[in-house]
Amino acid sequence: MRSWPACTRRASCSVMPPSDGRRGADLTALYQDLILDHYRRPRNRGLLEHADATVTKKNPLCGDVITVQLELDGDTVRDVKFAGEGCAISQASASMMTQMLKGRSAQDIGRVAATFTRMIEGDSSAAADASLGELRALAGVARLPQRQKCALLAWSALTQALVSHG
């Protein structure tokens, strides 16, 4: 089994991937491939020309930095980009997150963010919620307390960006 790519700055943040005997190694590998794919080929990475809200968040535990930019139409997200650097979990979570936002209202996004946060904090009913889509690939992070901040960093920036605008 491959290990997660190490964090950029702190060796303490580098851990083996989560394994889940109930789901089987194939699914764990599939999830891991999805995370690495988003890490290597991030979606919606870059900067917006006309952002209505920009928030940068840092995770000092791991050295992750994420900037989320939103272009809004009322309280609906018209476009989103993210930038930053850090470990695979932080960057993949940001990339997957941006794929779910366009055309959705702040309230709707708030529900997804709350469900995702519960999943990362270990709520198995949240992990089974189909509304999370690909984000469920990150469910294994619930067993890695040191990495939970990595997975939630982009969402924290997103939530603040929506609040600061509204």
Applying CB under 5 A, which residues contact Zn ion? 62, 64, 86-87, 90, 150
- Specify the residue, 15 or 29, whose C-beta has the smaller distance to Zn ion: 15
Nearer to Zn ion, 51 or 149 (CB): 149
Q: Which is nearer to Zn ion, 70 or 86 (CB)?
A: 86
Mode of pairing for the β-strands spanning 53-59 and 76-85: unpaired
Q: Rounded to the nearest whole angstrom, what is the least distance from the CB of residue 153 to Zn ion in the complex?
A: 7
In the structure encoding, which two tokens stand for residue 93, read together? 């979570």
Q: How far is the CB of 90 from Zn ion (least distance, A)?
A: 4
Q: How far is the CB of 8 from Zn ion (least distance, A)?
A: 8
8-state DSSP, 147: G
Count, in order, helices (H) and strands (E) of the chain: 5, 3
Smallest distance, Zn ion to C-beta of residue 89, A: 6
Residue closer to Zn ion, measured from CB, 18 or 110: 18
Cα–Cα distance for residue pair 57/59, rounded to 1 Å: 7
Angle between helices 88-98 and 148-165 (to 10 degrees): 40
